[in-house]
């Protein structure tokens, strides 16, 4: 979670390295989509997106929740997490990676 687009990309890349999806942040950046709308959910086994607004699309938010509940990795960068969705999110900031 960060207000800066570039910082969100860096945080998502570091998190993908931490969970083992990439060896380096540079490698991780290759599998991160810039927006959630660039992902084909019908064939996706994981979601890694630099930018997402939870209120932009209820359908996509529901799909992400379903994927996470099934055990798929869902990592999205955002400016803020709505209070009603905090229970289902692990929130990371730049302070968590220093």
pLDDT tens-digit readout, 31-58:
999 889 999 999 999 999 999 999 988 9
Q: What pTM did the predictor assign?
A: 0.89
In this prediction, residue 88 has a pLDDT band, given cuts at 50, 70 and 90, of confident
pLDDT of residue 71: 94
Non-local CB neighbours of 78 within 8 Å, separated by 6+ positions = 1, 8, 51, 52, 53, 54
CB-neighbour burial class of residue 55 (10 A; exposed 0-12, middle 13-18, buried 19+)? exposed
Confidence of residue 29 (pLDDT cuts 50, 70, 90): very high
Mean residue pLDDT across the chain: 93
């Amino acid at each position: 979670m960060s207000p800066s687009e570039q910082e969100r990309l860096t945080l998502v890349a570091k998190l993908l390295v931490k969970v083992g999806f990439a060896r380096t942040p540079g490698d991780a950046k290759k599998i991160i989509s810039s927006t959630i709308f660039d992902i084909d959910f019908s064939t996706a086994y994981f979601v890694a997106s630099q930018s997402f607004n939870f209120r932009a699309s209820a359908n996509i938010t529901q799909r992400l929740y379903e994927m996470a509940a099934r055990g798929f990795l869902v990592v999205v960068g955002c400016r803020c997490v709505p209070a009603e969705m905090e229970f289902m999110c692990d929130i990371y900031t730049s302070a968590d990676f220093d």
